[in-house]
Structure 1
Amino acid sequence: MNSSIALDENSIVKPLKKKKGLFYYIKHDFILYFMLIIPVAYILTFKYAPMYGIQIAFKDYNIFQGVNMSPWNNFATFKQIFVTEQFYQVVRNTLMLNGLDLIVGFPAPIILAILINELVWNKFKKVSQTILYLPHFLSWVIIGGIVTQLLSPTGMLNSLINNMGGESLPFLTNKYAWVATYTLVGVWQNAGWGTILYLAAMTGIDKQLYEAAEADGAGRLRKIWHITLPGIRPTIAILLILQLGNIMAINFDRPFTIQNNLVMDFGDVISTYVYRVGIQSANFSVGAAVGLFQSVICLIFLITSNYITRKLGENGIW
C-alpha cells in the first residue's frame, strides 16, 4: 500500500547558517576598517591615554618625582579647592555663562534653520547659508580682536557714538554688559553652523504633509508649528542632551580672549581658573582635581538629561 506523507513547508528543518567571524568582515570591508585606524588611534592617544594622569588629582604631585613616585595626599587637593571661595565663584560663572548659552544660543540655530528652510529663492538661500557659516571658521583669537576693536571704550562703535554726541557704552568694561556681549558674540559665531543638522533633519520630512496641510488651509506658521517642529524634535532632543552634558564644560579661548580685569567677577570660569592656578602657578594637582570635578558633573548632567528625555518619550543618545 502506497502512503503519502504531506510535509508542511514550515516543518522542514533548514540548515543553520555558519556564523561569520570577525576576519570575514575585515576581509570583506578591509578598506573601511583601514580608514578607522586613524580616528581610533586619535581617540586612544588623546582621549584615553591622558586619563593616566587623573591620579595627579589625588597626589602631591612633584614634577621631578613623576606621577608614580609622587605621594598620595588622602584627598587633600579636593579639600583645598572646596574651601576656596574663588572655586565656587568660577563654578557659578561657568554655570551662568553656559546657562545663558543654553537659553539664548540653543534656540537660535533652530529659528535660523526654519527661516532658511522657508526661503523660496534657492540662490539667496545658498548665499545666506554660506554667509552664516563663515563665523564658525574664525578662531576665537581673531574674534576677540574684532570684538576689542569694535566694542572697547576707544573702539569703532564707541568712537562713532562719541562723534554723534553720545556717551561711550561699557560693552567690555561693565560686568553685566560684558555677559550680554559674551552671549551675543557666541550666538553670532555658532548659530549659522548649528543650522546644518536642523536643515538636514528638515529634508527628511515628508513633503506630502505640507501639501495636505496647505490643502486644509493651514498657513505658514501653522505648518511650522505642526509639521516642521515635530519633524525635527528628535534632533532637538539629542542636541539638547549633549549641550546639557557640557553644562560645566566651557572652552578656554572664548572667555580668555574677551575677558579683562574689570569683568573678572563674571569672566573668570573653570577653564581660565585651571590655566591660571594649575599651569601658570605650576599647581598641577589642583588643576587636575578641578578638571576631574568638572568632568564628573558633566557626566551626571548627561546621564540625567538622557534619562529624562527617554521618560518623556523621545529617543536618547543610548
Structure 2
Amino acid sequence: MIGKFRKIAYPLHVMLLPGLIVIAIFSYGPMVGIVIAFQNFNPTKGLFGSNWVGLEHFRYVYSLPDTYNVIRNTLVISSMKLVVDLVVTIGTALLLNEIRLKLFKRSIQTIIYLPHFLSWVILSGILIDVLSPNTGMLNEFLAWLGFKRIFFLGNENWFPFVLVGTNTWKEFGFGTIVYLAALTGINPALYEAAVLDGASRWKQTLHITLPGITPIIVLMLTLSVGNILNAGFDQVFNMYGPAVYSTGDILDTFVYRTALINAQLSVATAVGLFKSVISCFLISASYLIAYRLANYRIF
C-alpha cells in the first residue's frame, strides 16, 4: 500500500518542481537584499562591498516623526477596510441568498463581481473623474442638491473614507462567494422546522443562518488580521497626492517614496524589513487563532 502511494506521489512532486523553482528564484532569491537594511548601500559597490552600519537605519526610521503617522494610517485604513468589507460582504450574501429567481440572482452576482477584475490603474482614472471637485459626477449631484462641493481626493479628512468605500465597492462581490458557499451547507430541515414554529425570515436569519456561517466568518476575520499591514499599495499610490499624506500615506507608499524618489535604499529596506517581520508574526498568529477557533488547517 505504501509502495503504491509512493508511485502515485512521485508524479505529483515532479509537477510541483516548476512552481518551486519559480518561488525559489523570484521569492527567496531576492531575500538576499535584506542585507541592504544593515548597510550604507552603494550600488557601485554591490551588496557585499558596502559599509556595514548595523541597526543605524532602524534607529533613524524610528526617530522620524512621519514613521508613526504612516504606521497609524496603515492600521486605521486596513482596520476600516476589514470591518466594512466584512459587514458588506455578509449582508450582500444574506440578501442574495433570499433571491429565489436564479437568473436575477446570477445577474446581480455577475454585476457586483466584475469590478474585482479591473486594476486600480483603470479604476483610479475613472474615480478621479467621478470625484473631481469641478466636473465630477458626484460633486455635480451634490451641487444640484444645494450642498458644497468636496475635493474628495485632496481633502485629508475625506480621503481615508474614499479609500475604504472604493475598495469595498471593488472587492465585496468577490467576498460574497465564500459566504454564499457557506450558506449552501446549512441544513434546509432547520428552516422547515423554524417555519413550523412560526419564525419569520428575520428570526430564521438571526437564529439559523448567522450561527450556521459563524465558523466561516471567524475564519475569514482571523485570516484577514495577518494582512492588516497591507493597506493596498496599488489603490493608494494611484489615488493619493502630497495634500493627503497626513492621512493617506501608508507603509508601502512610504517605502516607495523613500527608495525610488529619495534614493534612500537602505532606509527603505529597513522599513520594508520591519513590515515583513511584523506581518509574518501576524500571519502566524492569525493561522493559530483560526485553527483554535474554526479548526482551520493549512494541510
1:275 maps to which residue?
Answer: 256
Which residue of 229, 241, 261 corresponds with 1:260?
Answer: 241
Find the aligned partners of 1:293 and 1:249 in 2 and give their Cα distance.
Answer: 13
| 1:213 corresponding residue in structure 2 | 194
Code of the aligned partner of 1:77: H
Of 26, 38, 43, the residue aligned with 2:9 is: 26
CA distance in 1, matches of 2:297, 2:263: 38
| 2:35 aligned with 1:55 | yes
- 8 Å CA contact retained: 2:81, 2:167: yes
Query: Does the aligned pair in 1 maintain the 2:41–2:266 contact within 8 Å?
Result: yes
Contact 1:175–1:263 (Cα < 8 Å) also in 2: yes
The correspondence of residues 234-313 of structure 1 with structure 2, limited to 5 A, is: 234-309=215-290, 313=293
- Of residues 131, 136, 154, the one that matches 2:111 is 131
8 A contact 1:249–1:295 mirrored in 2: no
The secondary structure found in structure 2 opposite 1:20 is helix
**Match status 1:72 vs 2:56:** no
Distance, in Å, in 2 between the alignment partners of 1:266 and 1:317 is 37
Number of aligned residues: 297
TM-score by length of 2: 0.91
Give how far 1:265 is off.
Answer: 0.7
What is the 5 A alignment of 1:104-123?
Answer: 104-123=84-103
- Contact 1:246 / 1:298 at 8 angstroms: preserved in 2? yes
Instruction: Summarize the Cα distance change of 1:61–1:121 in structure 2 as closer, same or farther, 3 Å threshold.
Output: same
Identity %: 40
Match of 1:246, SS state, is coil
Which position in structure 2 is the counterpart of 1:11? none
Provide the residue aligned with 2:149 in structure 1: 168
How far did 1:162 drift? Answer: 3.6
Change (3 A) 1:246 1:285: same
Ranges in structure 2 where 5+ consecutive residues have no aligned partner: none
Name which one, 1 or 2, has greater alpha-carbon Rg.
1
Moved more, 218-227 or 162-171: 162-171
TM-score normalized by structure 1? Answer: 0.86
Higher relative contact order (CA 8 A, sep 6+): 2
Listed as ranges, the gaps of 5+ residues in structure 1 are: 1-16
More displaced stretch, 147-156 vs 122-131: 147-156
1:88-103 equivalences in 2 (<5 Å): 88-103=68-83
